[in-house]
A and B are shown apart, each in its own frame.
Chain A
Amino acid sequence: DTEVTQTPKHLVMGMTNKKSLKCEQHMGHRAMYWYKQKAKKPPELMFVYSYEKLSINESVPSRFSPECPNSSLLNLHLHALQPEDSALYLCASSLQTGRSEKLFFGSGTQLSVL
């Protein structure tokens, strides 16, 4: 299994809603990532988890809350989002966080905030 699975694929939410994005991998990878990608822009790193511990938070607003319940799962909890948060949210994993490690990306969740 060489896949990173993200659910849901599409999400529409209001600014007062609470929702969660889910990401799962069964490749034995110990590093997992959340990236945000606006249309026609490159992905931007949000969070990195290494061995289930948060190792990088790229100054992301607190309305985004990551969680790594175990080595295979990564969640992104969303609360009180703004319309400008609408984007494609990509999860990725790699064996570890080392410089040589290739990232495997999931298919993403297309989020629209109304």
Chain B
Amino acid sequence: ELKVEQNPLFLSMQEGKNYTIYCNYSTTSDRLYWYRQDPGKSLESLFVLLSNGAVKQEGRLMASLDTKARLSTLHITAAVHDLSATYFCASKEGAGGTSYGKLTFGQGTILTVHP
């Protein structure tokens, strides 16, 4: 069974600083998704990483995928208050798995950016 783990679960940052959120998954997978969720709101898709070595950037966020290490990272550059939210990574089973659209989420990282 696919398990997805994020760390840290809580992240308090100062504006202007850099930090990285880590996402490990337990079984073979080459599909990794990052979502953002504001309190009481739905999930907004940030990145879809579809192959080993994939790197995607949008504004102050950059995501990467290392399928050999079963690790994805979400790097935050020069944080601003608007980035405060919960960030989830999620994955689907890889080759040989029964995917059928089942997305398994990590626990989420609650990010708070302070002035």
Chain A residues engaging chain B, CB cutoff 8 angstroms: 31, 33, 40-45, 48, 50, 55-56, 88, 90, 94, 96-108, 110
The reply to whether B102 and A90 form a contact with Cβ atoms under 8 Å apart is no
List the one stretch of B11-19, B38-46, B69-77 in contact with chain A.
B38-46
Given A102-B48, A103-B45, A106-B42: A43 and B101 interface contact (C-beta under 8 Å): no
Q: How many A-B residue pairs have CB under 8 A?
A: 67
B65 to chain A, nearest CB (A): 13
B44 to chain A, nearest CB (A): 8
Known: A40-B108, A42-B90, A42-B108. 13 other contacts (CB 8 A): A41-B107, A42-B106, A43-B105, A45-B102, A55-B101, A56-B100, A56-B102, A99-B31, A99-B94, A99-B99, A102-B33, A103-B33, A103-B101
Name the prevailing secondary structure of the B interface residues. Answer: loop
The reply to whether B100 and A55 form a contact with Cβ atoms under 8 Å apart is yes
The reply to whether B48 and A100 form a contact with Cβ atoms under 8 Å apart is yes
Closest to A88 in B: B40
Residues of B near A100 (CB, < 8 A) are: 31, 48, 50
Bitwise, B66-103 to A at CB < 8 A (1) or not (0) is 00000000000000000000001010111000011111
Chain B residues engaging chain A, CB cutoff 8 angstroms: 31, 33, 35, 40-45, 48, 50, 88, 90, 92-94, 99-108, 110
Given A107-B41, A108-B42, A110-B40: A101 and B101 interface contact (C-beta under 8 Å): yes
